[in-house]
A and B are shown apart, each in its own frame.
Chain A
Amino acid sequence: MIRIGGRVVAGPTRRIGPQPGEVIDRSRSLTFYWNGASRAAYDGDTISSALAAAGDRVLSRSFKYHRPRGILTATFHDPGCLVQVDDEPNVRASHRQVAAGMDVRALHSWPSLRFDVGAANQAVGPFLSAGFYYKTFIKPQRLWPAYERVLQRFAAGGRVSASSPHGDYDKRFAHPDVLVAGGGPAGMAAAIAAAEAGAEVMLVEEEHELGGHLRYGDEVALSRLQELRAAVAAHEQIEVLTNSAVTGRYDDNWVAVLQRSMPHVTERLVKARAKSVVVAVGLIERPYVFEGNDLPGVMLSSAVSRLVNLYAVRPGERAVVFTGNQSGEAAAAALERAGAEVAAVVDARRGGALLRARGRGGVTEVETGDGARVECDLLVTAAGWTAPTLLVNMTGVKPRYCDRAARFVPGDDLPSDVFATGGLVGDGDVDLLVEHGRATGLRAARRALETLDGHGPLTALPRLEPADHPALFRSRTHGFVDLSEDVSSKDLVSAAQEGYDSVELVKRYTTATMGPSQGKLETINTVAVLAESTGRTVAETGTTVWRPPHVPISLGALAGRNLEPVRYSPMQPWHEAVRARPIVAGQWIRPEHYGDPASEVRNVRENVGLIDVTPLGKLDLRGPDVPRLLNFLYVNKWSKLDIGSVRYGVMCGEDGVVADDGVTGHLGPDHYFMSTTSSGASAIYEWIENWLQTTFTDWSVHVTEMTSAFASINVAGPNSRELLRRLVDDVDLGPDAFKYMQVRQGTIAGVANCLMWRIGFTGELSYEVHVPAAFGLYVWEALMAAGADLGVGPFGLEAQRIMRLEKGHFIVGQDTDGLTQAFTAGLDWLVKLDKEDFAGRPELVWQSERSDELRLVGLQPTDPTVVPPEASQIVSGANEIEGRVTSSRFSPTLGRSICLGIVSADLAHAGTVVTVKQPDGTRVTARVMEEHAHFDPAGERLRG
């Protein structure tokens, strides 16, 4: 037997005989586990319907007070029905269907559902009252870590398993003519009418099947349901997505649909661009606020109809029905059919009132407004409806309060490509809803297909309006307004008394409407209680803004398939074969080093090394006006650059801040080739195109992005010339024929159309070669083979970074930041202010006139073994910030630590000793150097 009162135990089955609209398959029984104990179910059961059939009443413990909770709405939004399923937390038990072998466990219950120590929180209620987050646990701040540990134990949410396998998630783009949100009678009718008019329709239904409230309605409803379903199925132009939710409607009918019904795919995010949208999301029944309204056994009337008609479950043995509408009567009828006794019907329309429910662990007694006490185990409330107006309001239309219907309605003036129908708009019988749906669907199709004119007359839109309804929000007693967050009407009243008298403030202060059901059940009652306690009307109080998503979207669905686009150079197979350590550099995956960066540095300084620099940005520039363009883009001069020569240049933004640097070569008449930093490649292309397309429209310049057309290899070290000579025979590599800062085109290892430029980021004699990408790997291997006796070896990004720091070359974005203008970066030698104009010139003119600017300087720590971490502060006095270390490495060449840093002007003199405060708080000293370069400042090695 199920005991009424006292402990709640699973009793004999509450499953009743077959119902005409039931969704369970009695030929397919299955077993699952609830907190470790086995439970029987039928295919088609939700977790909560199966538990209700087994007599389980308590499905969870509440968030704050750990009060027992059971089925309230029997829908996705059921606040007390979040459970853990296997390793998936926060599953909606009134929506998720049971599968054989499922391991379902309760959340929020430690150590167990029945004996929950957290329930002691009820005894200290005031301690967790409104705004407790802001009042309690805040001071003293040093105790916060301890508070956090305790709070986490009681906090919401299930357990995420670190060993969960990666789920399958997907995305899809769709372009329906008409998207219908909601598959109830009006939505189905709209879809049918739109398809008949020739539109491609996507019909999205949150539940597992089409039908809406017809599914748990009477025989008339069921027969209309069959007709509508058959008509939908007959149209190939209607794509039906069940168990899917429209989570938002954005500009230009960009509609997000979360689809859960794909086989083998956990969730799929459908991004639909619909020509028109029909919002037919129906109504949500709202709870009533009274003392004891959260006890297991208190249910909404629609939940009772669902349990009886869809799942053939008797929700209780003896019921009291409190009703303000027909839904309460329907629930009473369903209960009688299910064999339950309806002990009392309290009709609010005839002055009936509900005072409180009593019981421990479940309802045992109800006290009505006239003082009568009725023993029962089920209290049904039918207090009215909430229109989920999110999708309509996302168009910018504000909800409007309809006083006589006691609910907010969508508001008028929808955009011309968004339509609303069904219960959202008004109340009516099936015929009216279908008629309105059809007329709306036809309009949506005509709008989508642009056939509004001249394709026959439109039937008039039938009158569909909200019906009158008593304003039932709260009884004379206080109860829970938000069952997800455990916020009571008393909390709202005290928040209002504390001065939080606007609905948006009350929401944030009390967290009402901020739990898993996100205000769908709570908002209207929150507004009503606040209105009452501030002496305003509901309309004056207004409602909070509904925000997307309508239902939670997992991060997996947002991410889609686990595909991360990356870029590799053609030499990647070689790097992998020798187990180079990869590093992520923007989209590129590059070798960081091949085992020992320091020995790679020594090999370049002593022999010869190869580095894969394919990610370097490369732009082919052609046309007679390229020199004008270069003069404008770079801070230095480009007018006199001979064919066969290259030049280093720095680009600044219009704010004078260093944006990029690189080398550009003059290859032939009207033909230049520009290299940019790896990270700046696409931005510089866009920057150049911007000037050419919008400002210098009369210049003849053509820009082609060549970054991945060439594989790029820097051959660096004293033996580099000898190595190249072995593979190049159509270019004279002699030191007088091919000088530093010159470019040649030729053939390397038989590969024609290669570019070679003699430049040196590493400070050694070196050649940067650009090889047609398809031959990149071949040339790399040829160089490796040809240079075996010269000591050739690969070097990675880290060795290159060490060597460039030894040479004092800055890296844009590392040694400069978003405020570093050219003179701060020490580019006095490069900036030519005597050019009439170039990008950023005005700012640089003004910067050149200031004397108090920060400067980039070379730094050497006093203790050569100390390598201060990058971003260490340079300080004076107690803690006055004077700058920072921007680059810092141990130099294998010099045997000491070397840095670049940005310091204030009065410290930027050679010989100044600065204090470097490291992240751990320790202080070391460093000397400001004469030059940025720590090694071979005269550059003799690279000019050899």
Chain B
Amino acid sequence: MIRIPCPHCGPRNSDEFSYIGEEKRRPGPDTSPTEWRTYLYSKSNPAGWTTEQWFHAAGCGKFIVAERHTVTNEVRATRPKPRFERSNAGAEAGGGSS
């Protein structure tokens, strides 16, 4: 079992985390089936470095981003939050506060 250095809790066994998957940008509402299903189902699955999200379910309850080498399982960096800006997904969906 690999260890993941949680940026909030320090190095912990990976069974404290749930694996979310590769970091991906969610397409906006005007997406096409091809773009959307690429987002849903296509994984780049490299033999090498990959940037992925983990959820520290049995720890701080935070989503973190880890850079992991899929061949050696080395985790070279973790960050508290995804690096990218969110798309405008959902921004207009709500009705404001009550």
Q: Is A669 within 8 A of B73, CB to CB?
A: no
B29 adjacent to A846 (CB under 8 Å): no
- List B contacts of A841 (CB < 8 A): 29
Residue numbers in A under 8 Å from B61 (CB-CB)? 689
B20: interface (CB < 8 Å): yes
Residues on the A chain within 8 Å of B3, using CB: 251-252, 254, 273
Tell yes or no: A697 within 8 A of B by CB: yes
Q: When the two chains form the complex, which single residue of A669, A690, A696 contacts B98, counting CB atoms closer than 8 Å?
A: A669
The reply to whether B29 and A842 contact each other, CB–CB distance below 8 Å, is yes
A interface footprint on B13-24 (CB within 8 Å = 1, 0 otherwise): 100001010000
Do A638 and B95 touch (CB < 8 A)? yes
Please indicate the chain B residues that have their CB under 8 angstroms from the CB of A670 in the complex: 97-98
B-to-A contact residues, CB < 8 Å: 1-3, 13, 18, 20, 26-29, 31, 33, 36, 39-40, 53, 55, 57, 61-63, 72-73, 81-82, 86, 89-90, 92-98
A625–B90 Cα distance when bound, in Å, is 12
What total count of A-B pairs have CB within 8 Å? 102
Q: Is the CB of A628 within 8 A of B63?
A: no
Instruction: Determine if A837 and B93 form an interchain contact, defined as CB atoms under 8 angstroms apart.
Output: yes
Is A631 a contact of B93 with CB atoms below 8 Å?
Answer: yes
Interface pair A624/B97, CB less than 8 Å apart: yes
Q: Which of A575-590 contact B (CB under 8 A)?
A: none
CB-CB under 8 A for A836 and B29, given A629-B94, A686-B55, A689-B61 = yes
Cβ contact within 8 Å between B40 and A631: no
Nearest residue in A to B61 (C-beta to C-beta)?
A: A689
A628 contacts which of B53, B73, B90 (Cβ < 8 Å)?
B90
Contact B97 A625 (CB under 8 A): yes
Q: Give Cα distance in the complex from A689 to B81, angstroms.
A: 12
Report Cα–Cα, A835/B62, bound state, in Å: 29
> How many angstroms from the CA of A627 to the CA of B72 in the assembled complex?
44
Q: Do A640 and B55 form a contact, CB below 8 Å, given A252-B1, A690-B20?
A: no
Cβ-closest 9 pairs across A and B:
A628-B94, A639-B95, A624-B97, A251-B2, A632-B90, A693-B63, A837-B29, A252-B3, A251-B73
Docked complex Cα distance between A252 and B5 (Å) = 12
Candidates A252, A254, A694, A842; contact of B82 at CB < 8 Å: A694
The CA of A426 and the CA of B26, in the complex, are separated in Å by: 56
A residues lining the B interface (CB < 8 Å):
250-252, 254, 273, 396, 624-632, 638-640, 643, 654-655, 666, 669-670, 686, 689-691, 693-697, 835-838, 841-843, 846
Instruction: Quote the shortest CB–CB distance from A832 to chain B (angstroms).
Output: 10
Q: Which residues of A contact B62 (CB under 8 A)?
A: 693
A565 to B97, alpha carbons, bound, how many Å?
41
- A252 / chain B contacts, CB cutoff of 8 Å: 1-3, 73
B65 to chain A, nearest CB (A): 9
Nearest Cβ on chain B to A423's Cβ, whole angstroms: 28
Minimum CB–CB distance from A346 to chain B (whole Å) comes to: 48
Bound Cα distance A625, B97 (Å): 6
A686's partner among B28, B57, B97 (CB-CB below 8 A) is: B57
Show 29 A/B contacts (Cβ-Cβ < 8 Å), sorted by A: A251-B1, A251-B73, A254-B1, A254-B2, A273-B3, A625-B94, A626-B97, A627-B94, A627-B95, A627-B96, A628-B90, A628-B96, A639-B94, A654-B39, A689-B63, A690-B20, A690-B63, A691-B90, A693-B63, A693-B81, A695-B26, A696-B86, A697-B81, A835-B93, A836-B93, A837-B89, A837-B92, A838-B90, A841-B29
Task: List 8 other contacts, CB 8 Å, given A689-B55, A694-B53, A696-B86.
Answer: A252-B2, A628-B94, A666-B98, A689-B63, A693-B62, A694-B86, A837-B92, A843-B36
Interface pair A654/B40, CB less than 8 Å apart: yes
Q: For chain B, what secondary structure do more than half of its interface residues adopt (helix, strand, loop), or is it mixed?
A: loop
Contact A631 B98 (CB under 8 A): no
| A627-B98, A640-B95 known; A837-B40 Cβ under 8 A | no
Say whether A655 contacts B81, CB under 8 Å: no
Cα-based distance from A624 to B97 in the complex (angstroms): 5
Min CB–CB distance A399 → chain B (angstroms): 19
Known: A695-B89, A841-B29. A396 touches B96 (CB 8 A): no
Closest partner residue, chain A, to B20 (CB atom): A690
* Residues of B contacting A643 in the complex (Cβ-Cβ under 8 angstroms): 98
Q: Given the complex of chains A and B, what is the CA–CA distance between A273 and B15 in angstroms?
A: 14
A627 to B89, CA, bound (A): 15
Which residues from B are CB-within-8-Å of A628? 90, 93-96
Residues of B within 8 A of A631 (CB): 90, 93-95
A638: chain B residues at CB < 8 Å are 95
Cα distance A695–B97 in the bound complex, in angstroms:
18
Do the beta carbons of A697 and B36 come within 8 Å of each other? no
Q: A695-B26, A695-B86, A837-B93 are in contact. Are A250 and B1 (CB under 8 A)?
A: yes
Taking CB atoms, residues of chain A closer than 8 Å to B92 are 836-837
Q: Kindly state the separation between the CA atoms of A669 and B97 in the bound complex, as whole angstroms.
A: 9
Residue of A nearest to B39 (CB): A654
Q: How far is the CA of A629 from the CA of B96 in the complex (A)?
A: 10
> CA separation between A690 and B62, bound complex, in Å?
9
B43: min CB distance to chain A, Å: 15
- A375 to B45 Cα, complex, angstroms: 65
| A670 to B92 Cα, complex, angstroms | 19
The CA-CA distance from A518 to B90 in the complex, in Å, is 57
Please, which residues of chain A bring their CB within 8 A of the CB of B33? 842, 846
Q: Which A residues lie within 8 Å of B53 (CB)?
A: 694
Asked if B93 and A838 make an inter-chain contact with CB atoms under 8 angstroms apart, the answer reads yes
A40 to B39 alpha-carbon distance, docked (Å): 72
Contact A697/B72 with A627-B95, A632-B94 known, Cβ cut-off 8 Å: no
Q: Closest CB-CB distance, A401 to chain B, in whole Å?
A: 24
How far is A696 from B36 in the complex, measured between Cα atoms in Å? 19
Bound-complex Cα distance A250 to B72 (A): 11
Chain B minimum-CB-distance residue to A698: B86
Contacts of B97 in A (CB 8 A): 624-627, 670
**B35 (CB) vs chain A CBs: closest residue:** A842
B86 to chain A, nearest CB (A): 5
